[in-house]
Structure 1
């Protein structure tokens, strides 16, 4: 599915005209001006999956934020917004193939990290409750309890339950039976499973952060299926070879001048991976 077809950034002439019209020169930075003209990047065209590749500082995140703000996408985390952001956005333009669904969003690694911290807090609560239940088990098991009347019935049930079970079984069966402790990678994948809805546009900024290679492959498959079968469009900034290798993805190399679309296998980082594994091929074959 395609919602946005293309996005146009101001060219060098448009940026210079802006600077000439500026009355105040008392700024040390005009961010996000002066980032992309040197890369000869003025127009991006999109596919159902479009990927922005580049080293740190290449402008991937900035470009995603510019697109997200121009399209008024929802967001969770703050970002680097300068005094000149609105001026820059006014010089940008875009073409839609069809209207962008409401609640389409930009999702950053900070959003994923916040979700992981929330799960970590839940896990800590589970740990604290488990510790309390260990103590309660021992106190109950070795208590000098005597049944007197029906008012003691619930206490009797608990004592009998404790005395016929091991400590681990008792805690396991009574500790939030439907709760589960998640690893960071599992928490991140759970976040994406819940966040990504059918028929939406999503801009993802380095979604592979905190994910193991296995989970990165699972994420790439989730994104592939969401685009192919469930009407989603993705624009992704990433370093992950597993995400870069998504079928039919259009990959822009922001390290190149001019910025051009390339096969993922031709990207410098992928060539480094390929050379490394070729160098150690014999060790894998032993």
Structure 2
């Protein structure tokens, strides 16, 4: 554990009616304590989980389009307003880490293509563009992610099949059990959320609250669909 607390600097905010401070979960946030090596952010689209994750990345001086402190490239609309209004509390502070942003990963892969001089050793020895989307994600996780670092992942399941998500669960387990890594992950995946002993923070209901795995919509809806598929589909598809 490195990052212990995230505090919203409310006195520095001129208006809570403007984005991103108008998002209920951000609007009502004071401080968020992190007590686990793996913390999941869950919530509906627009609930603020990716916004907060990007703000943390900005405050860590990671590239908010995706990457680490050392990856310098520009992508439109990659700025984070929230990063200027939060304080991160560390013990100890680390500067190593990575921000994975699934929606702009192509741009990160292109940047690595242009600057890499090591034969892509941090990515399995192959250009990320010469791998499938899912393969490139796993190459990053298996080769680039190492100890004493903070990893911020925004919807890593976007490129991963269910089987590859299980592979990623194994990687997460190994990096947090044997290595010195901390993860904060925004996800919609009921598979990833099933990681034992992880903390799950829900951004729904206008506040950020810890929630049990079985109480997440991701678990409940998926379970109901699998157990009652025909009835479920009949209910939502009826004219």
Give the TM-score normalised by structure 1: 0.63
Q: Distance in 2 between matches of 1:115 and 1:92?
A: 26
Q: 1:199 to 1:63 in 2, by over 3 A?
A: same
Q: Which residue of 1 aligns with 2:14?
A: 18
Structure 1 residue 259 and structure 2 residue 208: aligned? yes
Partner of residue 56 from structure 2, selected from 39, 62, 67: 67
Q: Answer whether contact 2:65 2:78 (CA < 8 A) is retained.
A: no
Q: Distance in 2 between matches of 1:179 and 1:205?
A: 23
Give the TM-score normalised by structure 2: 0.74
Higher strand share: 2
Question: Pairwise mapping of residues 124-163 of structure 1 onto structure 2 (< 5 A)?
Answer: none
Q: Which residue of 1 aligns with 2:43?
A: 54
Q: 1:72 to 1:256 in 2, by over 3 A?
A: same
After superposition, the C-alpha distances for 1:223-258 in whole angstroms (9 at most, x for unaligned) are: 121111111000110111111111111111111333
Q: Which has the larger radius of gyration?
A: 1
After superposition, the C-alpha distances for 1:59-98 in whole angstroms (9 at most, x for unaligned) are: 111101111112223555445426xx2xx54432222121
Q: Distance in 2 between matches of 1:7 and 1:81?
A: 19
Partner of residue 44 from structure 1, selected from 1, 26, 32: 32
Partner of residue 81 from structure 1, selected from 79, 82, 85: 79
Q: 1:55 to 1:37 in 2, by over 3 A?
A: closer
Q: Which residue of 2 aligns with 1:139?
A: none
Q: Which residue of 2 aligns with 1:219?
A: 168
Q: Answer whether contact 1:39 1:256 (CA < 8 A) is retained.
A: no
Q: Distance in 2 between matches of 1:116 and 1:66?
A: 22
Say what the alpha-carbon RMSD is for the aligned residues: 3.1
Q: Unpaired segments of 5 or more residues in structure 1?
A: 21-28, 120-177, 282-286
Q: Which residue of 2 aligns with 1:25?
A: none
Q: Distance in 2 between matches of 1:237 and 1:109?
A: 11
Higher helix share: 1
Q: Which residue of 2 aligns with 1:243?
A: 192
Could you tell me how far 1:118 is from its partner in structure 2? Answer: 9.3
After superposition, the C-alpha distances for 1:33-56 in whole angstroms (9 at most, x for unaligned) are: 322467622221111101100121
Higher relative CO (Cα under 8 Å, sequence separation at least 6) belongs to 1
Q: 1:99 to 1:236 in 2, by over 3 A?
A: same
Q: Distance in 1 between matches of 2:59 and 2:165?
A: 29
Q: Distance in 1 between matches of 2:192 and 2:186?
A: 10
Q: Which residue of 2 aligns with 1:158?
A: none
Partner of residue 34 from structure 1, selected from 9, 22, 26: 22
Q: Answer whether contact 1:36 1:42 (CA < 8 A) is retained.
A: no
Q: Answer whether contact 2:169 2:192 (CA < 8 A) is retained.
A: yes
Runs of 4+ in structure 1 off by over 6 angstroms are: 115-119, 178-181
Q: Answer whether contact 1:48 1:227 (CA < 8 A) is retained.
A: yes
Q: 1:36 to 1:199 in 2, by over 3 A?
A: same
Report the number of matched residues.
207
